[in-house]
Structure 1
Amino acid sequence: MNDFYQKLAAIRHDIHQNPEISEREYNTTEFLKGYLAELDIHIVEDDLKTGVIAEIGHGLPVIALRADIDALPIKEKTGLDFASHNGAMHACGHDFHQTSLLGAAEILKGMEPDLKGTLRLFFQPAEEVSKGAYQVIEADGLKDVSAVIGYHNYPHFKPGQIGLRSKAIMAAVEKFTVRVSGVSGHAARPDLGADTVLAITTMINSLQAIVARMTSPFEPTVLSVTHIEVGSTWNVMPKDGFFEGTIRSFDPAGRATLRQRFNKIVENTADQFGVDVAIDWGRTPTVTYNDETLTPLIFENSKRFADVFEVEPLSIGEDFAAYQEQVPGVFALIGSNGDEGAADLHHDTYTVKDEALETAVTYYVENAQLLLDYFASKG
């Protein structure tokens, strides 16, 4: 690596060693503001508690570049010289993301007189809890924006590789909690109560029919119940219980249908067993859906500096999708490790390779210019 990327690697190591979890990225925010100020990059005044919005260039069009900055509440076990010791960890590589956007910002600032518009930088908080993109939007981050680009590092691709596709690249995420209330009583006389345990287990079994019998086999869908709590002893029918889990899907139009089918099964089962039920749907990302016009442009442009190929969609979610609901957006997967057996995202031994930074920085720089030129030509 040349001196510039060695500097960026050192910055990433420092960020990695001092991670902060979602909505508590206070020191990270101050560091980012200070670094951008030293580059004489304009920091936008906003209502964000954490995170930074900054701008390079002037006038229209406006293209947004996004990187997330939060870490996870995971105890790191990588053994790295710069490993975190504060109980949190950049186990999803957001240290890599924000460092690459800082590097791109430095390069693009040097090109500012020649930019055909404005580049708006989102150093976004709280991606891991699916709140940060909405916070940036509520802070008017998308005002006048023509398009937004971002990426996620991907440990199963090598440095220098970029995976991309039009349409869905990451799944819509549903988080559901179902609370059931019956009538408690003695386990020897279930006829005198309303059996919460039986109602919950029947709901869970019946919900699997959504994937197995109600969804096209050509539309990948996952429904997982991951947490159940009901009852406290062997001879008492409990009054209350709940279960929660997730649905993952890739068809934006079918997302509402999945929820409707879920609600109907749960409510009909509750009626069958004479229990009350409440369903809560969390605020979670929709499909990360790459714009069908801009994605081929970025795909071809990125071939100039990377090995670019079409990927299958991932069943994980991304709140970058919130931006794409408002403006055209493109989200890529950039290789960050590639070793056989490399730890997956959110693992306590997750690592990325510093040599992948050059591709990530160049992805921002080259495609930011491409999109400015594209929208400027449209007037």
Structure 2
Amino acid sequence: MKAADFVLDALEAAKQVEEYVIHLRRDLHMHPEISMQEVRTMKVVAEELERMGIPYEMVPEGGIIGIIEGEQAGKSIILRADLDALPMQEEETNVKGKKIVVSQNDQAAHTCGHDGHTAMLLGAAKILSQNKDKVKGKVILAFEQGEEIGRGIYAIVNRLLEIGADGVWGIHLKSDIPAGKLSVDAGPRMASGFAFHAEIHGKSGHGSRPDLAVSPLDCFTDFYTHLKAMRLTSLDPFKTVTYSIGSIRAGSAANVIPDTLEFSGTVRYLQYEQGLMAEKEFKRILEKTCDLHQCTYQYLIEPKAVDLLVYNQTDCAVIAADAVEKSMGKKALYPYPAWMASEPFAFYQKYFPGVFAFVGIENHEKGTGAEHHNAHFDLDEDVLKLGVAATVQYTIDFLCSENEIDFTPEQKSMKELFKELGYGQ
């Protein structure tokens, strides 16, 4: 059976479940739950799967996995959505006016779009389960806990490896892509990166006699100056990298030179080799600067480059582009550069070839387009049906495709990989 043998107007099918998807999204948005506390959210997902007659299992500290068995044997594909909200207070307005729906929970808000991701996957599940007599193979629904802090990824991917799959698909709503457009470009989609957290130790003293003290602040400012120059002096200009300091803490009195200064931040990159060089240079600059200022240092979180890029496999990206064009027309395709944020979806793509699609939500008339993790973040609900249609069409086309996919899966287990990357389990 080829893709052409399973004829389904994915966009029309998505329009049929649009009201259902929007209702779910609003319900989840009003009742957000932060990472690893998604009790109500998972209950909602489980109840919806039960209504659809889709068997599922709860993965401890991981999420929910549901399985739609097609009536014909074939390949299998994972469809993934994330469940958690952010620990922040949401504003009642977007960039133009009052939002349609606002969180009812203090210090918890869906200001990244995960409510939309979950609702879209349930919408796609409804369509695919209704057509399972035509589905060739198996559809694995993965609803992941704790995406924002990377806590659910170990358990859910570990379980998916036990189940086995031939590919993976995920979606992220994107605030700076025009509503109605989708990006499924091949290659890097989201950055790999590492965090750092360090202390610089000097010698405290009275503010009137800095010559008798060793200021860790002077050391840090010198270090920071050299760090900013690292991009020009040490790193390949043809390979993307971004880095920033996110927090600095030192001292408590205006007239006291402090003993220590603590700072932390992140580095993001699209090529692992660039990440390794950034790690090496960061460490070298800190060591040499501390020596120059007669300070010492210690790492609370040591900089360690990891190879965790969200990367769309070329063959799968071709299937995805065809799926978008088939279901929504060529004009819906939108070329978009990689997003320099990081995503645990990279772990799925270590083991399964696939695509991470961006669905645009920027609509100036509706006031949507505030950046992710911003209190004014909002989404254009009209695009949800597009995400559903793309998911359904890609699933059908991937399962029916007989083309070879050039992909070598990670040979290490999740346990071995986590240990190598220096992650907790």
Aligned pair partner of 1:293 in 315, 318, 332: 315
Match of 2:384 in 1: 357
The reply on whether 1:20 has 2:47 as its aligned counterpart is no
Question: How far apart are 1:191 and its partner, in Å?
Answer: 5.3
| Matched AA of 1:41 | I
Question: How far apart are 1:99 and its partner, in Å?
Answer: 0.3
Question: 1:212 is paired with a residue of what secondary structure?
Answer: helix
Match of 1:313 in 2: 338
Unmatched 5+ residue regions in structure 2?
1-13, 406-425
Query: CA separation in 2, counterparts of 1:100 and 1:333?
Result: 13
CA contact (8 A) 2:239 2:274 kept: no
Question: How far apart are 1:98 and its partner, in Å?
Answer: 0.4
Match of 1:7 in 2: 20
- In structure 2, relative to structure 1, the CA distance for the partners of 1:126 and 1:242 (3 Å cut) is same
- In structure 2, relative to structure 1, the CA distance for the partners of 1:312 and 1:377 (3 Å cut) is closer
Match of 1:126 in 2: 146
CA contact (8 A) 2:268 2:275 kept: no
CA contact (8 A) 2:15 2:385 kept: no
- In structure 2, relative to structure 1, the CA distance for the partners of 1:129 and 1:374 (3 Å cut) is same
1:293-330 per-residue CA deviation (whole Å, 9 max, x = no partner) reads: 21122112211123113211222222211212222221
Q: Compute the TM-score of the two structures, normalised by the length of structure 1.
A: 0.91
Task: Map 1:170-249 onto structure 2 (within 5 A).
Answer: 170-190=190-210, 192-249=212-269
Question: How far apart are 1:109 and its partner, in Å?
Answer: 0.9
CA contact (8 A) 1:44 1:55 kept: no
Query: CA separation in 2, counterparts of 1:54 and 1:201?
Result: 52
1:236-273 per-residue CA deviation (whole Å, 9 max, x = no partner) reads: 33112211112221113322221121112112222333
1:120-140 per-residue CA deviation (whole Å, 9 max, x = no partner) reads: 111112122233333422444
Question: How far apart are 1:229 and its partner, in Å?
Answer: 0.9
1:113-157 per-residue CA deviation (whole Å, 9 max, x = no partner) reads: 332222111111212223333342244457422211111112333
Question: How far apart are 1:186 and its partner, in Å?
Answer: 3.5
Match of 1:40 in 2: 53
RMSD: 2.5
Match of 1:254 in 2: 274
Question: How far apart are 1:358 and its partner, in Å?
Answer: 1.3
- In structure 2, relative to structure 1, the CA distance for the partners of 1:163 and 1:71 (3 Å cut) is same
Q: How many residues in Structure 1 have an aligned counterpart in Structure 2? A: 377
Match of 1:63 in 2: 77
Question: 1:222 is paired with a residue of what secondary structure?
Answer: strand
Question: How far apart are 1:218 and its partner, in Å?
Answer: 2.1
| Matched AA of 2:376 | T
| Matched AA of 2:52 | L
1:43-70 per-residue CA deviation (whole Å, 9 max, x = no partner) reads: 135323x621111116663211111111
Match of 2:99 in 1: 80
Query: Which segment drifts farther, 356-365 or 179-188?
Result: 179-188
Question: How far apart are 1:360 and its partner, in Å?
Answer: 0.6
- In structure 2, relative to structure 1, the CA distance for the partners of 1:3 and 1:361 (3 Å cut) is closer
Aligned pair partner of 1:332 in 354, 357, 375: 357
Match of 2:398 in 1: 371
Query: CA separation in 1, counterparts of 2:50 and 2:153?
Result: 23
Question: How far apart are 1:24 and its partner, in Å?
Answer: 1.1
Query: CA separation in 1, counterparts of 2:138 and 2:116?
Result: 24
Query: CA separation in 2, counterparts of 1:156 and 1:107?
Result: 29
1:278-306 per-residue CA deviation (whole Å, 9 max, x = no partner) reads: 23148988321111221122112211123
Query: Which segment drifts farther, 145-154 or 342-351?
Result: 342-351
CA contact (8 A) 1:60 1:376 kept: no
Match of 2:411 in 1: none
Unmatched 5+ residue regions in structure 1?
none
Tell me the percent identity: 28
CA contact (8 A) 2:80 2:170 kept: yes
| Matched AA of 1:330 | V
Query: CA separation in 2, counterparts of 1:33 and 1:12?
Result: 15
Query: CA separation in 1, counterparts of 2:243 and 2:59?
Result: 38
Query: Which segment drifts farther, 281-290 or 254-263?
Result: 281-290
Query: Which segment drifts farther, 285-294 or 7-16?
Result: 285-294
